[in-house]
A and B are shown apart, each in its own frame.
Chain A
Amino acid sequence: MKSVKTLSIDRFVDLRSGEAGAFFRAFSVLLVTISAHTVLETARDALFLAKLAPRNLALVYVATAVFTIALTPLSVRLTRSAGAKNALVVTLLVTAFAAAWFRIRAPGAASVFSLYVFGALSATLLVGQFWLLAGTLFTAAQSRRLFGPLASGGVLGGVGGAALAALLLNAVPVRGLLGVASLLYFGAAFLATRLVIEEVAVAPSRAIQSSPVASSAPLRPQLAKVQGDPFLARLAIMAVLSIGVSTVVDYLYKAKVSRTIPPEALGAFFARYQLVLSLGSLLLQVAITGPVVQRVGVVGLALTGPLLLTFGGTMTAVLAAPFWLVVVLKATDTSLRNSLGRVATELLWAPVEQQAQARGFVDLVVTRVAQAVAGCVLLAATMQREFRPGHLAATASVLAALWLLVGAGIRKPYIALFRKALTRGGVEREFMLTELDLTSVETLVEALARPQPSEVIAAMNVLSERKRERLIPALILLHEDEGVLLRALELLGPSGRKDWYSLGERLLGNASPRVQQAVVRAFALAGESDVLRRATQHPSASLRTFAALYLAQLAGETMDGDPLGWELFADDDDEHSLKLAFIEALAAHPTPETPRILLGFAGLSAVRGAVTAALEVAGDASSIDFLISRLKWADERLSARRGLKRIGEPALEALAHALYDQRWERRVLIHVPRSISAFLSKAALEILLKAMVEHENGLVRYKALRGLEQIALETSLRIPAEPIFHEVTRNALEYLRLFAAELALKSDRAASGRLESQLVIELLDDKIAQSRDRLARLLQVLHRGDDIPAIFSALMSSDGRRRGRAVEFLDALIRGFDRSSDEAAMLLRLVVDDLPAELRAERARERVGAFPDARAALTALASDPDESVRSLSGRALGTLGSLPPPAAPPLSVLSERLV
């Protein structure tokens, strides 16, 4: 891999491996194209103002808009049929021939008018096509790094073109510039043919679909789409206001020039103006655009232009539009539009993929109509009253302020767009709360009649979980399948309904003993003693026993002492069927004595699971310790948690205490945080925040984080950001430290080839992934509306575009952090950015130290706070001929995770 350090250009552009060729080819195409356009524009402006009055400019704006709308579909067809590169080449060639034709023609009024329209039109198409091509060459993340420097190719072209025009005007007339422009366009076409588009990197069709010239669909649906999408609507309004500002400022500028500069000096003036403008733009591009993109982000970048133009327009209006200030205003608009503005626009459109036609609609129809309207308004205004530069400047200022206002609100929909592209879809828990509508009920009732028993059972379960058991017809008890009958009886027993009694009692004659037993159980849960009494006469001895047992329980015929010693269970089998049935019935009809009796049963390990399940609904404060102790068993954990939650505050206090209570074994301790989070309360939140930051056990801290994640996703409780940022900083530093150490270790082939070192590398791999996972969860707590883990997983995607989107999205989220979290934001950006390994380690060096080689890395790791890292690294270091630091404990104490 080519090191980033080896590139001499790296101060100017952050080029990564494999990007240089595409970047410099594209750069040169833009440079020569803009050179040609600058030369042509110099000639065009001078010829126009020498031949025609400034008010004709308004007509030019209208004509340009109309022609753009008319010609763009041709460009679309060309792009679709020939590809973005070939379309650019063809457009460059056509422009070159047209420029040559204007060179030959005499400069009459019609001719210069046409030249002006042609110049504007070709610039629009060429620049649009170029950036479309750039969009196919680079991913979203690459675009964010490279579009700024790439745009400076255009600025450099402006400098070169302007300088060339200024020089040439000493020797040739203004029209001669058109011939030079023609030659330059030919040159640009040649360079464009050298561009290579990698089909694998980006699907061309997708890139073309997102092009500004890709609209061929009917207008009405596109308009509806733009109106219905907050992001697109804002982009469209911004485009309208932007073109409005530009048109007004251009008119103001040219009218002022026409009144101030004599016709014979126009060519030299425009050439010098272009040169100064381009030099200023170059300075802006080199010194400001790149850092600005990195520091203020895409949205900040998009707001820079309107902010400066609002200020400039206001100053111009207040000072009655002096010539120099108008020139500065125009220069500001032009230079920003071609540098920061262009980059911002491309980046704002980068996440838009599905709305491809909308971009065509916005860039073509909306902006051109806005331009035409602006031209008409200007024409009407200048025809009715005399030229008032102060008014025009004020108008530009107001439009720029509106542009700023609309742009300021784009961040939220911009993030939403990335979110939509990266996340996994809706959150299912909301569905559980939704009422079942008629169609859904029909679906479920229909499913109850399906031939497949599994589907019938599934439908009953769905109804039960949505508290719609009443929709299960009693006739379901006529079903032939045992599984269906068992589940139906389970649900009907405690439902409070009585319509199933007669059909249910008939099932006492069912051939299946399991069904018979389920019937008795269902009537016991329903508290229906009459049926149970009849069941005591059943031919089946076991059924008679069950019925008698349930009747005894219903009658409150319990005895004192240890329930395991009760005579009632003297004939119980090895499976403890009677005890289990009794425990279940106790839970169905609890009395104040129930918890005591249930805890008495807990002395028998075989029924403890049933006891836990019963205490879920019948436990009291006396059950807390037992329920906490059952957290270690996966099969009982959910019941234990629910039971603790039902008990309420005393249980939460006990759990908070258990977090730091040495008497609880590790298996219990690690499940305490998620049990606390099940309370979903403010008190639970505070306990978990404290545990996440302060607890000595890493796994408990992690579980506390998982618990916080649950609270974030399932409640609207306000979660203080400070402890979260504290953990973000801690985990990001951990990630970067381990990453840098592992890189040093891997880079040493001799060392990394040893088994001992390999174990360290494998361990570091896992711990790095673990740190990243924790960062994702921390961000999830802060941004509960997003699916952050899915976005983090996109960071590891092999699809560069998807990876780029994830980086961009996370960058936008990080920019939303407040000032107090600057460090966390900086570190997090370093973790998630799409950087080469060496560069990431280099940038992290200040914070986590340098690891020049494997020995240094292992030496540092042999003093790691983590016991497992420390032990394995110490051993690996020993194989390199170094002894581990004296503080390193023996490997046998690998018990960091044991409390």
Chain B
Amino acid sequence: MTVADSARLKREILLRSMFPSMPVAAHLRFTDLLDDLEAKPGALVFDVGDAPDRFLFLTEGRVAMERESERPWEFVPVAVVGVIDAILERPRTRNCRALEPSRFLSLRISDWFDMIEDNGQIARAAIRNFAAQLHARWRQLAPRLERHSELPPGGATAPLEAYDKILALRRATFLGSSGMQAIVSLATVAEQLDLKQGEPLFELGARDDSLHVLVRGAIELTAPGGFRYHHRRGDLVGGAAAFCHALPGYAARATTDVSVLRIAEQDFYDQAEEHARLTRGTLKYLVAELEPLLEIDDASARLVPPGRISADA
């Protein structure tokens, strides 16, 4: 694709204003990969069941993503449209209809994945970006979720062999799509922590850039303002907060005897640079967690959201 320099600059400025923290190289590459798209009012930009092969950057106008018997999601500039289905690699579950004359820049999902796999910085930025969105939403809604009030049984602690670590990480929700090689590699760098009931995993305000995967028992996550959330086996403690450096806003305490696998953030991203599926898998996890939260009407009193958040604890 060849575009005039001035048109490229316009795109670059737009992208930079949308993603100010993204590395320069990513902006330049993005600029080259974008295609222009226009839609008249009422026109379908994509329909339910379509292949999710592209992201759309809405630059002008207004669109809605609709699904039968669900409230529509409306987007205004500058927004990214169609990202959830694309990352989850499933056919479109909502259509996208232009409400006004609208313009987009579209990017092939495969190009985007290529970019994040080629560049560790972009991968980290993408993960942090999604994690920050998910965390903001989760922080607001978590106290209303079913799991908030449940307390699962604990388990006896024992040293984990490497094979056990592999099995434990394979069970971890956030590594569900990351691939066995990444899991094996993470198992080699994961450090086991055993806590007795009542012991803290980390305190409020503590700076710990590690990821903690709960292998046995239960952990309670608390935050100022009465926030309380129970983590169970397979959970990443803090969820998205662990990926966007928001853990200092929380304290975590063992509510039973627990075993946790601690993975240093640096180790995680080092492995992500080697194993592309780890980045993709993490993004999938974040988006899969975000989607059901987006479905919850802020005004509703519903406590059990659809999707994975309330599922298998």
A residues contacting B by CB (< 8 A) are 424-429, 431-432, 434, 436-437, 439-440, 442-444, 447, 452, 454-455, 457-459, 461-462, 465, 632-634, 638, 667, 670, 699, 702, 759, 762-763, 765-767, 769-770, 773, 789-790, 793, 868, 871-872, 875, 891-892, 894-898
Contact = CB atoms under 8 A, between A and B. Distances in A.
A426 B33 CA distance: 9
Interface in B285-310: none
Interface in B162-184: 162-163, 166, 170, 179-182, 184
A158 B71 CA distance: 68
B137 interface: no
Interface residues of B, number: 51
B196 interface: no
A641 to B, nearest CB: 12
A425 B180 contact: no
A455 B33 CA distance: 20
B120 interface: yes
Given A455-B13, A898-B188, A891 B5 contact: no
A891 B179 contact: no
Given A457-B20, A891-B161, A898-B188, A425 B32 contact: yes
Contacts of A897: 185, 188
Contacts of A871: 162-163
8 contacts: A429-B25, A436-B5, A439-B4, A439-B6, A638-B121, A763-B181, A868-B184, A871-B162
B256 to A, nearest CB: 26
A458 B114 contact: no
B5 A458 contact: no
A897 B189 CA distance: 9
A607 to B, nearest CB: 15
B69 interface: no
A458 B16 contact: yes
A400 B121 CA distance: 57
B181 A770 contact: yes
Contacts of B180: 759, 762-763, 765-766
A458 B17 contact: yes
A455 B16 CA distance: 7
Nearest to B187: A894
Given A424-B114, A425-B1, A634-B124, A459 B29 contact: no
A454 B78 CA distance: 11
Contact of B32 (A428, A439, A462): A428
A793 B269 CA distance: 23
B9 interface: yes
Given A428-B31, A766-B277, A868 B266 contact: no
B113 to A, nearest CB: 9
Interface in B1-58: 1-2, 4-6, 8-10, 12-18, 20, 24-25, 28-29, 31-33
Nearest to B181: A766
B270 interface: yes
A501 B113 CA distance: 45
A763 B186 CA distance: 13
A702 B4 CA distance: 37
B20 A454 contact: yes
Interface in B244-271: 266-267, 269-270
B149 interface: no
Contacts of B185: 868, 897
A437 B5 contact: yes
A306 to B, nearest CB: 36
B266 A447 contact: no
Contacts of A427: 32
A759 B167 CA distance: 9
Most buried by A among B5, B29, B114: B5
B140 interface: no
B16 A461 contact: yes
Given A425-B33, A759-B166, A789 B1 contact: no
A449 B158 CA distance: 64
Given A770-B181, A891-B162, A667 B277 contact: no
A465 B9 contact: no
Contacts of A702: 274
Nearest to B77: A452
Given A766-B179, A897-B188, 10 more contacts: A428-B31, A432-B28, A436-B5, A443-B10, A452-B17, A461-B16, A670-B270, A770-B275, A871-B162, A891-B161
A832 B190 CA distance: 36
A790 to B, nearest CB: 7
A560 B10 CA distance: 51
Contacts of A898: 188-189
A455 B184 CA distance: 44
Given A454-B17, A458-B16, A634 B269 contact: yes
Contacts of A458: 12-17, 20
B269 A892 contact: no
Given A439-B6, A454-B17, A462 B188 contact: no
A667 B17 CA distance: 34
Contacts of A429: 25, 28
User: 5 nearest interchain CB pairs?
Assistant: A458-B16, A766-B181, A762-B180, A454-B17, A428-B28
A780 to B, nearest CB: 11
Interface string B144-166: 00000000000000000111001
B111 to A, nearest CB: 6
Given A458-B16, A766-B277, A426 B188 contact: no
A458 B24 CA distance: 11
A436 B14 CA distance: 18
Contacts of A424: 32-33, 111, 114
A872 B162 CA distance: 10
A447 B12 CA distance: 11
Most buried by B among A428, A454, A457, A699: A428
Contacts of B267: 667
B266 A667 contact: yes
Given A632-B266, A667-B267, A702-B274, A444 B9 contact: yes
A892 B162 contact: yes
Given A667-B267, A759-B180, A897-B185, A793 B110 contact: yes
B149 to A, nearest CB: 33
Most buried by A among B6, B161, B170: B6
B115 to A, nearest CB: 10
A121 B226 CA distance: 88
Contacts of A426: 1-2, 32
A763 B184 contact: yes
Contacts of A793: 110, 114
B277 A891 contact: no
A459 B13 contact: yes
Contacts of B170: 759
Contacts of B187: 894
A891 B164 CA distance: 10
Contacts of B24: 461, 465
Contacts of B181: 763, 766-767, 770, 868
A745 B180 CA distance: 16
A431 B13 CA distance: 15
B34 to A, nearest CB: 10
Contacts of B162: 871, 891-892, 894
B166 to A, nearest CB: 7
B194 to A, nearest CB: 18
Contacts of A896: 188
A442 B13 contact: no
A556 B28 CA distance: 41
A790 B114 contact: yes
A667 B269 CA distance: 11
Contacts of B25: 428-429
Nearest to A798: B51
Contacts of A638: 121
Contacts of B121: 634, 638
A437 B5 CA distance: 8
A726 to B, nearest CB: 21
B160 to A, nearest CB: 10
